[in-house]
Every structure is written in C-alpha cells, then in structure tokens.
C-alpha cells in the first residue's frame, strides 16, 4: 500500500479554519479528560482514521482483533487521545511501568513538574514527542510542530511527511553537517539532498544539525571571497561537508583568486581531502539513457580514484610571464611527491581489494616525469597488495578504452587532472553527469561529498537538474563519512526504486518514462526512502 505522504487534504483544510491554538495536541496537558473534551470541540470533530501502527500499541486483545481482521470498535477520540498520551509518555520516560497503572492524579502531578522545568525543556520534550509521533505514524505530527514555531531544535522539512516506517526511537546518534549549496543548480540539488538525508536518518534514529555556509560565486557576492575563513572553519569542525556546485558565467572573467573554482580548490586543500572516489555504475534502469550501445554500457561498474590535492592544480611554479620572444605565457607545473603518490595508491588498492580486485593506474609516463614517478611508486606499492591485479595505461588510451570497452575496468587510479576528465567521460556511460556522486576523503577530519557535475548555468533555476548525483553523494557521506552503512543503503535503494517506478529527469529521460523536474524527482525519492521496499538491484560504490 502506498504511504500517505502528503498531509491529508481535508485535515489541511480544517486546520486553516481552526485557530492554531486549538490545533495543538495537548499531550502533556494537565486537563482532565472532561476538560479536554470541552476544549477540543473544533479539532475533535476531525475524524482521523486510526493509523495502523497505532493499533500495534493497543492492548493485546484489540491488537489480535485487528491483526486477524476481526472488527474492533473504532476508538473514540477521547480514547485514542488518552492511548496516544500514555504511549508517548511511556516512550519518553522509558518507563517500564504500565501506563495504565498510573492514576490520572499521579500523571497530573508529573505533568505539573514537567511544566515547571521551563520553556527550553518543554521544546526539547516536544521535539522528542514529534519523533514518537513519527514512530507511531500518528496523524497529528504536523499540528504538534505547527504550534511550536519557537522550538529551537531544527525541524527537518521532511517532517511534513507521514511515514509508515516505524523504526525510529529517540535519536541515538547526532552529527553536524556543513551544507555548501554554492551556485547555479547547487542550491536546488542540495535542498533536496538535505531532505532525503534528514528523512532517511530520522528513520534510522540519527539526528543532524545542518549549518549552511557560502562558497564559490555566492560567497564572492556576499563576502567578497570564494572561500570565507568562516566557511572553512565551520566545515573543518563538522562531521561531514556536503557541497552542491560552484561557478557560473557571472564570475568567469574574475581574477583567478576571485573565481568560484578557486574557492573549491582551497576547500579541498583546506580539508586535506586527497582521495576522490567517483563511482560510475550503469544501472539497468538507465541502460536506454546511455549514448552507448546497450551491449557496451550494460554491466559497467567502475570506480575512479582521483588524486585531488596535488598535481598540476596545485604545483608550483605557476603563473603568467613573458617568453624570450616577448610573448605572454601561462604556465603550470605537474608535480607529485612519493608521499602523495603512495597514499593515493594505497587508497586505490584498498578500494580495488573491496571490489573486483583489479586496479588500472592511468598516467602519461611515456612523456611526463611526474607520471614516470607515479608509475614507479604505484608499482612499488603493489607489492603490499598481492591479491590485487595491477595494470598501467596511458591516459589517451584510457580515454578511448572507456568508450570502446568500459567493462574491462574495475578501479582506476589517476592524478588530479586526468581524474577530472576521465570521470566526466565515465559519467556518460551511466547516462548522465547528473548521476555521478563523489566522496573526497583525507587521513583525518571531515570528508567532502559532492556530485561530480558543475553548476550547470544553462539549466539553473529551471527545475531541470537531476538531483540523483547529489542524493547518491549523501549516501556516500553516510557510508564513507559517518560509517552509517544502513542509512546509505536505504537511500541508494530509494533511488533505485524511484527509477524502477519510471521517474526520469530530462537528462536521463527515454521513451515511455515519466519526465519530472528536479523537485518532483526529489519527492519521489523521499517517498521511496519512506517505503523501505527492498530494491531489485543493489547499487554498489
């Protein structure tokens, strides 16, 4: 049965007609049942269906009746209210005592004490109550939130969805996430990915605090630099960083230090995330979206391990000058040290070992000294991984082989610039650059997670962007950044289920599929996150 995702329309309509004070759910109220009955007149007339999960906390005799399809008397509003309160109170206080053993007077005294603990305590409690509502699949969740706008605890946007999954208990794990929406389609995809992360995590008992900071063009416009010190500092102190994309026509002519791209490079260097994992998996659902022949694209599943904080992007000397003929010149330096190559090689071998045990090192050792060193060091590190089969390939050949026979690749390790280019190329095997996530990791500190695509100024603000690369980046954040494998899997399964249902953004659309925009695609993924249906094909990265 489809989950009832949106607020019930008739409920929303009634809510508009009723003063919000009346809509609050008087969970810890000191009113007697009789008083409550008098006061709740307008909202009490809302004949909400009893949620299924609610029956699970009813006394066993009624539960049996429900389970075996025997008709049970529909509880009155009063009865239901009282049962809800007892259940929530029990969960909040983790009390093993049966709520029915408490007299109404004792409960009243308890509530009296609760009230005196002040507003902050109350807000906190209400936040927990909201989680319980969530757990119990109770309809009034929205009204409970609604009447406490001043709650200092951030309410995830997705709280408006009613979930049928009843897995949450009080949040057990809590993480700080820095959100860097950036430019162009960045804010569009980040807003969706944040909702997906919040919902999936809340269903697994995880809590997130988000801090949104400016980066790229947005930071240039607001603060004057592409990577404000505050942004880097907040990012460093968080548990993981989620970035949308940076860049755009507006800043293309800026001086180098005032380009959005400079902000991104400074961020990567500042976080010391030298290992960039870019998985390219051709999903069976998207085989028709690939521009390659079906038999070429089918079954492709590769991982590009890109060195991210070295090479020509950062090598010195670099700059502009004049040559002996008096002409202007621009120059950069491709430079790698043994330490830099060794550490990325080890990450790549470890990655290959967990995959199909094949590693292809891509370089330009027939021409470049930096590549000669690269090949020498990768070959040396290979002796630590006898179980991994190592091959070497020149980058020009690799670019060609990726199109000719991509299935020959398992794990590819390469330098910063080759990795940039080859991963964009690999994305088209999967159907679109809008499908490729990435994880950038260092030896310590938070990881940086971002789709591999850019700010796509050509489609920005038009609700056309594919949010799946960013949603899958969130899955990588959970897996690689926080070790929350189960939640990562839930998100990946939801993406697959959404594709199974036939929803497609324009970049991956094919005949017979449902064309949706960025937001609608996000909503479909949220629906699937909630539904928990196991996916037919599992996504690996």
Ligand X SMILES: NC(=O)c1ccc[n+]([C@@H]2O[C@H](COP(=O)([O-])OP(=O)(O)OC[C@H]3O[C@@H](n4cnc5c(N)ncnc54)[C@H](O)[C@@H]3O)[C@@H](O)[C@H]2O)c1
Ligand Y SMILES: CC(C)[C@H](C(=O)O)[C@@H](O)C(=O)O
Q: Residue 510: exposed, middle, or buried by beta-carbon count in 10 A (0-12, 13-18, 19+)? A: middle
Q: How far is the CB of 151 from ligand Y (least distance, A)?
A: 37
530 binds, among ligand Y, ligand X, none (CB under 5 to 8 A by kind): none
Residue among 160, 424, 501, 519 flagged as catalytic: 424
Q: Provide DSSP, 135-191.
A: HHT-TTHHHHHHT-TT-SSPPPGGGGS--------S--EEEEEEEEEESTTHHHHHH
Between CA 333 and CA 447 the distance in angstroms is 27
Q: Which of 466, 473, 498, 541 binds ligand X (CB under 6 A)?
A: 466
**Residues between 150 and 209 that touch ligand X (CB under 6 A):** 185
Distances (CA, A) of 3 to 136, 503, 536: 14, 17, 19
428 binds ligand Y (CB under 6 A): no
Over the window 208 to 237, marking each residue x when it contacts ligand X by CB under 6 A and - when it does not, the resulting string is ------------------------------
Q: How far is the CB of 10 from ligand X (least distance, A)?
A: 37
For this structure, is 313 an active site residue?
A: yes
Residue among 183, 364, 493, 539 flagged as catalytic: 364
81 binds ligand X (CB under 6 A): no
248 binds ligand X (CB under 6 A): yes
Edge to edge, the sheet with strand 275-281 lists: 206-212, 173-182, 240-245, 447-449, 439-441, 275-281, 301-307, 411-414, 358-363, 389-394
For residue 153 the two structure tokens come to 């605890």
For this structure, is 387 an active site residue?
A: no
**Residues between 475 and 534 that touch ligand X (CB under 6 A):** 507
Whether the CB-CB separation of 258 and 180 falls below 8 Å is answered with: no
Between CA 374 and CA 334 the distance in angstroms is 11
Between CA 99 and CA 106 the distance in angstroms is 11
Q: How far is the CB of 184 from ligand Y (least distance, A)?
A: 11
453 binds ligand X (CB under 6 A): yes
465 binds ligand X (CB under 6 A): yes
Q: Which of 27, 163, 234, 245 binds ligand X (CB under 6 A)?
A: 245
Over the window 258 to 277, marking each residue x when it contacts ligand Y by CB under 6 A and - when it does not, the resulting string is ---x--xx------------
Between CA 496 and CA 513 the distance in angstroms is 14
Number of residues that bind ligand X (CB under 6 A): 21
440 binds ligand X (CB under 6 A): no
Q: Which of 193, 241, 271, 469 binds ligand X (CB under 6 A)?
A: 469
406 binds, among ligand X, ligand Y, none (CB under 5 to 8 A by kind): none
261 binds ligand X (CB under 6 A): yes
Between CA 197 and CA 156 the distance in angstroms is 10
Q: Residue 474: exposed, middle, or buried by beta-carbon count in 10 A (0-12, 13-18, 19+)? A: buried
Q: How far is the CB of 243 from ligand X (least distance, A)?
A: 7
- Closest by CA position to 522, among listed 501, 503, 500, 536: 503
- Closest by CA position to 279, among listed 482, 486, 426: 426
For this structure, is 194 an active site residue?
A: no
486: number of Cβ within 10 Å: 12
Is the Cβ of residue 81 or residue 450 nearer to ligand X in the bound state? 450
Please give the residue ranges that form the binding site for ligand Y (CB under 6 A): 247, 261, 264-265, 420, 452
Q: Please list the active-site residues.
A: 313, 364, 396, 420, 424
Please give the residue ranges that form the binding site for ligand X (CB under 6 A): 185, 245-248, 261, 264, 433-434, 450, 453-459, 465-466, 469, 507
């Amino acid at each position: 049965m489809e989950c009832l995702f949106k607020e019930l329309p008739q409920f929303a309509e009634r809510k508009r007609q009723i003063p919000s004070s009346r809509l609050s759910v008087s969970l810890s109220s000191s009113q007697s049942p009789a008083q409550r009955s008098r006061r709740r007149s307008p909202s009490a007339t809302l004949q909400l269906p009893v949620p299924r999960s609610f029956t699970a906390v009813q006394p066993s005799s009624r539960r049996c009746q429900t389970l075996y399809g025997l008709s049970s008397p529909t509880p009155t509003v009063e009865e239901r209210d009282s049962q809800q309160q007892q259940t929530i109170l029990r969960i909040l206080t983790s009390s093993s005592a049966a709520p029915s053993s408490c007299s109404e007077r004792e409960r009243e005294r308890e509530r009296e004490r609760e009230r005196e603990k002040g507003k902050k305590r109350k807000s906190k409690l209400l936040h927990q109550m909201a989680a319980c509502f969530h757990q119990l699949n109770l309809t009034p969740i929205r009204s409970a939130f609604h009447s406490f706008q001043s709650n200092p605890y951030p309410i995830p946007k997705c709280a408006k969805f009613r979930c049928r999954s009843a897995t949450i208990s009080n949040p057990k794990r809590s993480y700080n996430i820095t959100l860097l929406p950036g430019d162009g389609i960045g804010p569009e995809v980040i807003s969706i990915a944040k909702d997906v992360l919040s919902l999936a995590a809340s269903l697994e008992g995880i809590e997130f605090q988000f801090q949104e900071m400016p980066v790229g063009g947005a930071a240039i416009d607001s603060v004057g630099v592409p990577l404000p010190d505050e942004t880097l500092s907040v990012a460093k102190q968080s548990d993981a960083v989620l970035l949308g994309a940076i860049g755009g026509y507006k800043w293309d002519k800026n001086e180098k230090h005032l380009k959005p791209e400079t902000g991104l490079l400074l961020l990567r260097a500042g976080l010391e995330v030298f290992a960039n994992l870019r998985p390219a998996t051709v999903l069976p659902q998207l085989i028709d979206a690939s521009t390659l022949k079906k038999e070429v694209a089918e079954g492709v599943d590769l991982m590009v391990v890109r060195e991210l904080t070295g090479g020509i992007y950062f090598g010195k000397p670099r700059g502009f000058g004049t040559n002996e003929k008096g002409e202007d010149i621009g120059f950069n330096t491709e430079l790698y040290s043994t330490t830099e190559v060794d550490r990325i090689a080890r990450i790549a071998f470890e990655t290959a070992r967990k995959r199909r045990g094949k590693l292809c090192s891509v370089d330009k050792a027939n021409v470049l000294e930096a590549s000669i060193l690269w090949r020498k060091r990768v070959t040396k590190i290979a002796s630590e991984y006898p179980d991994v089969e190592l091959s070497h390939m020149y980058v020009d050949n690799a670019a060609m082989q990726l199109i000719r026979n991509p299935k020959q690749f398992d794990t590819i390790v390469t330098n910063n610039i080759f990795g940039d280019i080859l991963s964009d190329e690999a994305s088209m095997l999967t159907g679109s650059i809008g499908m490729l996530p990435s994880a950038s990791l260092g030896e310590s500190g938070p990881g940086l997670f971002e789709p591999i695509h850019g700010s796509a100024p050509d489609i920005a603000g038009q609700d056309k962007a594919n949010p799946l690369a960013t949603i899958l980046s969130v899955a990588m954040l959970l897996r690689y950044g926080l070790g929350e494998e189960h939640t990562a899997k839930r998100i990946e399964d939801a993406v697959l289920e959404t594709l199974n249902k036939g929803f497609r953004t324009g970049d991956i659309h094919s005949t017979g599929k449902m064309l949706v925009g960025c937001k609608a695609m996000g909503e479909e993924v949220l629906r699937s996150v909630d539904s928990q249906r196991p996916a037919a094909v599992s996504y690996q990265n």
